[in-house]
Amino acid sequence: MSKGNGRPFRDANALLARADRIRAQRAKLKHEIRICAGPGCLALGARAIHEEFLTQISEHKAELKQAGLALNTTLAEKCTGCHGMCEAGPIVTLEPEGTFYTGVKPRDAKKIVERTLLKGELVDKRLYELGHQRGGGKVEKYADIPFYSLQVRVALRNVGVVDPTSLDDFLAAGGFRGFVRALSEMTPDEVVTAVEDSGLRGRGGAGFPSGRKWRSALRVKEDRVWLICNGDEGDPGAFMDRAIMEGDPYSVLEGMMIAAYALGATDAWLYVRHEYPLAVKHLQMAIDTLENAGLLGDDILGAGMSLRIRISRGGGAFVCGESSALMRSIEGRVGEPRAKYVRSVEKGLYDQPTVLNNVESFTCVPAIIDRGAEWFASMGRDKSRGTKAFSLVGKVKHTGLIEVPMGRTLREIIYDIGGGIIDDRPFKAVQTGGPSGGCLPADKLDLPVDFDTLTRAGAMMGSGGMIVMDDHTCMVDVAKYFIHFLIGESCGKCVPCREGLRQVHDMLEKITSGRGEDGDLEKIERLCHTMEVGSLCALGKSAPYPVTSTIRYFRAEYEAHIRDKMCPAGVCPDLIMYEINKECTGCLICKDHCPTEAISGEKKKLHVIDEDACISCGICMSVCKFDAVDIKSGGVIVSRDEAVV
């Protein structure tokens, strides 16, 4: 791992010269192996693959040399951040040709070195299978996969491209061009104007225009402004910020440095949650490297600017992603939000004016400065400009990390990029905006994804989590799940959130267990309204969204639970029963697997499930090879796997 040249850069020219030198060196590369070391691929053994590549390269040293490939001059290998398509991991790509290998195992390293590097052949088995998209078949290059070709990467521009531990790599990828431009060609005011003109809105959830925030911080007449980068990404199923911090820490820091220059901040905090140890490690390495390189500390690049960036680790409280709770947490107090009638830019951390932005927002800033506000503003729609990263998860074929311009429709994201629903089942809903976001039904699929449209539809952009659900999802159960999550994460300071969530959960529990009564829905709605208008912080105010949005779009499903005591999706255990139909061949498998011995039957004879002994665990259904087990709810068969094609 190379870490700069060890000597601090005297000025901006020295930095740019070094970047040019590295780029010239890199131009000689014939092959570059990029091993994805994102969280998903790491879990699948990316480190072992990396080791194996190193071993294979040294074992084949002579042959590689004959082919004109020598490590570090014409051949390079590195671990990068997340490539995005986590479902296909571990991923290895070969540059510059763009060959894309998925599901790579350590033993494949030998094949890739021997066949692809030495003979120029492809390892067919590890190529990506397109499925039904574009006629199916194997794809050689990632540029040909819709998942990648339809994306526009701004915040994720270097994630999966650079080695997160190498400053040289970052410089070669155009790093610090934005910072150098800001420092040497622009006044702080011009930087703020550029951010204003770009239309960048906070990527953390609320979507407050970053430029306006910076401008109001400039207007505050105090000696110092403090800067915070919010890396406390707590939404279940969201990992955009994690990917950026782990895969491209220098961009985050560069964005903060530009902001510090614009706002005159000399101290900055990076608040990263404790659950992201790799992000903390990479960021700390990057900070140390930059300090040694004279890019952080006093008199940065000889331009008289000084900046210290500290990492503050969160204890894993979801509510600490809320800016005022985050500031209290940095101060060392209990992470509870306060009312923000006095804005943070006037009184934030330690009662000093504080500018807080999200990781993704900061990461967009260098690109805006480097490529111009017009370029950024040219993407997007209405008042939402630029691009947005999403983590696409749930019942979608290609789960992973994507970035698209604002204004793409949900359909494009889910069907074109995501490849549609697993097993081609019908789409039921998509949950956007994390646990306190809302669920949107199929008829909202053509909604453009931007801040205002989503909010109007009862969901929200949030930090960019997107959970896709198919027809096997019970919306009441989903609402209950998110409320349960929020109960665990509510700070418990104010009454509507603390007590309200408990009561909403109780009532949802009642409904899903078949004890719902008429009037329950109205009671929930009334309570949700109070939570929405009467809670102290944004967490409480948005906590009822999963419930209100599902009631708004799936009211019939709630009513079926309450009136007919039936779960149309066949999910709620108390409302469903399993029944064996005529397809049963009497194979005894379900009988053997049933944990409560509720199934009786003999070989080659129709089996029967004893309703009283059945605990609705569904094991019989999943082990049955003949689709002979049905879910019945309210006397109707609600789920039969082959029934839906």
Partner 1 sequence: MRKVRPTLDDTARMMSETNETVTITIDGRDVEAPAGAYILDVAGELDIDIPSLCAHPGLEPFGACRLCVVEIQKPGWDDWYRQLVTSCLYPVADGLKVWTNSEEVRRNREVVLDLQLARVPKSDVIGDLAREYGVERTSYAERDTDDTCIMCAICVRACDAVGRSAIATLSRGPDKYVDVPDKDACIGCLVCAHLCPTDAIAFVADDNGKRTIWDKQFDLVTDERTGEVLGTPEYLEHVRQRATDRGLRWPDEMKHESAKVKRRTYSSKLARVGRIEEPAE
Site of interaction with partner 1 (CB under 8 A): 317, 319, 334, 338-339, 341-342, 487-496, 498-503, 506, 523, 526-527, 530, 533-536
First to last CA, the chain: 51
Least distance in Å: CB of 355 to partner 1? 21
CB nearer to partner 1: give 411 or 541.
Answer: 541
Q: What residues contact 253, with CB distance under 8 A and at least 6 apart?
A: 283, 286, 287, 290, 296, 309
Pick from 101, 359, 321, 165: nearest CA to 243: 359
Q: Is 193 helix (H, G, I), strand (E, B) or coil?
A: helix
Give the integer Cα–Cα distance in Å for 109 and 128.
Answer: 17
CB nearer to partner 1: give 191 or 508.
Answer: 508
Give the integer Cα–Cα distance in Å for 153 and 606.
Answer: 56
CB nearer to partner 1: give 421 or 497.
Answer: 497
CB nearer to partner 1: give 68 or 488.
Answer: 488
Least distance in Å: CB of 337 to partner 1? 9
Least distance in Å: CB of 280 to partner 1? 23
Least distance in Å: CB of 354 to partner 1? 18
Least distance in Å: CB of 334 to partner 1? 7
HSE, side-chain direction, 13 A CA sphere, residue 407: 11
Pick from 224, 205, 254, 248: nearest CA to 436: 205
Least distance in Å: CB of 509 to partner 1? 10
Read off the tokens for 572: 């709620």
Q: Is 350 exposed, middle or buried (0-12, 13-18, 19+ CB in 10 A)?
A: exposed
Least distance in Å: CB of 527 to partner 1? 6
CB nearer to partner 1: give 94 or 494.
Answer: 494
CB nearer to partner 1: give 144 or 532.
Answer: 532
Pick from 149, 116, 143, 147: nearest CA to 131: 147
Least distance in Å: CB of 537 to partner 1? 9
The residue written with tokens 């807080």 in the block is 356
CB nearer to partner 1: give 140 or 520.
Answer: 520
Least distance in Å: CB of 48 to partner 1? 39
Give the integer Cα–Cα distance in Å for 267 and 244.
Answer: 22
Least distance in Å: CB of 559 to partner 1? 20
Distances (CA, A) of 560 to 51, 446, 469, 549, 563: 56, 27, 19, 17, 5
Q: Which amino acid is at 114?
A: E
Decide if 4 contacts 19 (C-beta within 8 A): no
Long-range contacts of 299-306 (CB under 8 A, 24+ apart): 300/183, 300/257, 301/9, 301/10, 301/11, 301/12, 301/15, 301/180, 301/183, 302/10, 302/11, 303/11, 303/12, 303/183, 303/184, 305/183, 305/260, 305/261, 306/266
CB nearer to partner 1: give 131 or 488.
Answer: 488
CB nearer to partner 1: give 532 or 579.
Answer: 532
Least distance in Å: CB of 533 to partner 1? 5
Give the integer Cα–Cα distance in Å for 143 and 95.
Answer: 12
CB nearer to partner 1: give 495 or 587.
Answer: 495
CB nearer to partner 1: give 74 or 216.
Answer: 216
β-bridge mates for residue 629, sequence order: 580
Read off the tokens for 219: 């207007």
Give the integer Cα–Cα distance in Å for 439 and 469.
Answer: 9
Pick from 583, 564, 561, 548: nearest CA to 635: 564
CB nearer to partner 1: give 499 or 579.
Answer: 499
Least distance in Å: CB of 435 to partner 1? 13
